Amino acid sequence: MGQDKLKASPEDRERIQEWLNEKWVSPKACPICTNPNWVIAEHLIAPPVSSGGGLSIGGPTYPFVMVTCTNCAHTHLFNAAAILRTSKSQKPEGGGDG
């Protein structure tokens, strides 16, 4: 049940894909196996924050998007809050009559 809180909505996944298409301009070949195909995970991840040498369970977390190579599972992490905040601010709200 807790995992559903971190499931990216279809709209968020679309915004993440658009952001990746815009920002990931270098060759997209996996650095491990050279496969060019990647998949965005359905769920965001939020690893626990290390605090004073230990983990702070129930403390602050930072959401990440996992982008995984379809061949060898090598994974890149991208800051989900920054991506979604940036993509929201770039889209005009409403139709606007200009």
Per-residue confidence (pLDDT) for residue 97, from 0 to 100: 43
User: What pLDDT does residue 52 have?
Assistant: 73
Give the model's pLDDT for residue 91.
52
Q: To the nearest 10°, report the CA torsion of 87, 65, 59, 2.
A: 110
CA distance 73 to 52: 32
**Helix 10-23 crosses helix 80-90 at what angle (to 10 degrees)?**
90
pLDDT for 87 equals: 63
In which residue ranges of the chain is pLDDT below 50? 1-2, 92-98
The secondary structure of residue 32, as a DSSP letter, is T
Q: What is the pTM of this model?
A: 0.75
pLDDT at 92: 46
**CA of 31: how far to CAs of 43, 64, 74, 94, in Å?**
23, 20, 8, 41
pLDDT at 66: 96
Position 51 scores a pLDDT of 73
**What is the distance of C-alpha 3 from the center of its chain?**
15
pLDDT reported for residue 62: 87
